[in-house]
Amino acid sequence: MEYKKGTTTVGLVCKDGIVLAADKRGSLGHLAMHKKVDKILKVTDFIGITTAGMVGDAQKLYDYLKAELQLYLLEREEDPAVEVASKLLSNILYEGRKSFLPYLSMFLLGGKSEDGGFKVFSLDSGGSSILDKYVCSGSGMELAYGVLDSGYKEGLSVSEGKVLAAKAINSALRRDVFSGDGIDVVVIDNKGYQKIKEGEISKLLGK
């Protein structure tokens, strides 16, 4: 059974968008996978999600969520807000907890909200959906929180958020053996979903 033993993901809200960040190491028990893993996935043009936990569960839930939101767009002829996506995924996870083997995954879901702003939710295998200004998940989350707790402030810009998120993940990469192999950063603003190039991430870290 393919299982991500460790992960570090970050989501934070800025005044002009949100930032999602994650490491790229996949692991099976104490072994690291031989290739890098994408832990931030595009759901719609204005919604993104980070994954942690069992790979199979995360993949199936992502496919399910993406398909349902595509149907929502076709039926209503409008982009679904992040609140809609969060409620739907929360319901799926809650129903799964009643089965013999619940979904063993945790997600950070962020994007454009109903009021035109931007929000980030954390969702766990029990079906909870919690709105946060900034949030982390995974085995390196304590290390990432140390950076965010001291660096996050209300009203920071996306440019500032990218730096903070990259530094938070980098902190986990230094100390958490199950996080590593690079950093991905995604911005979602009024222009939509944008993945930051690897070279720019190095600049964010001052390398």
Catalytic residue from among 7, 44, 50, 51: 7
Active site residue 50: no
Contact by Cβ (8 Å): 201, 55: no
104-117 confidence digits (pLDDT tens): 788 999 999 999 99
pLDDT at 12 over 90: yes
Ranking 6-15, 59-68, 140-149, 168-177 by mean pLDDT, the lowest is 168-177
Q: Which residue has the higher pLDDT, 99 or 193?
A: 193
Domain boundaries, the chain: 8-204
pLDDT at 5 over 70: no
State percent of the chain over pLDDT 90. 57
- Put residue 192 in one of left, alpha, beta given phi > 0 → left and psi -120 to 50 → alpha: left
Instruction: Report the candidate in 137, 99, 101 with the shortest Cα–Cα distance to residue 121.
Output: 137
pLDDT of residue 129: 94
Instruction: Report the candidate in 61, 83, 57 with the shortest Cα–Cα distance to residue 72.
Output: 83
What gap in Å lies between CA 67 and CA 130, rounded to an integer? 23
Ranking 24-28, 57-61, 194-198 by mean pLDDT, the lowest is 24-28
Cα–Cα separations (whole angstroms), residue 175 to 5, 8, 155? 15, 11, 29
What is this structure's pTM? 0.89
The C-alpha torsion from 130 through 50 and 59 to 65, rounded to 10°, is 50
pLDDT at 145 over 50: yes
Average confidence score pLDDT of the chain: 86
Which option is the CATH number for 8-204: 3.40.140.10, 3.30.2010.10, 2.130.10.10, 3.60.20.10? Answer: 3.60.20.10
What gap in Å lies between CA 181 and CA 16, rounded to an integer? 29
169-199 confidence digits (pLDDT tens): 988 877 655 555 679 999 999 999 999 988 8
What does the pLDDT average to over 16-25?
91
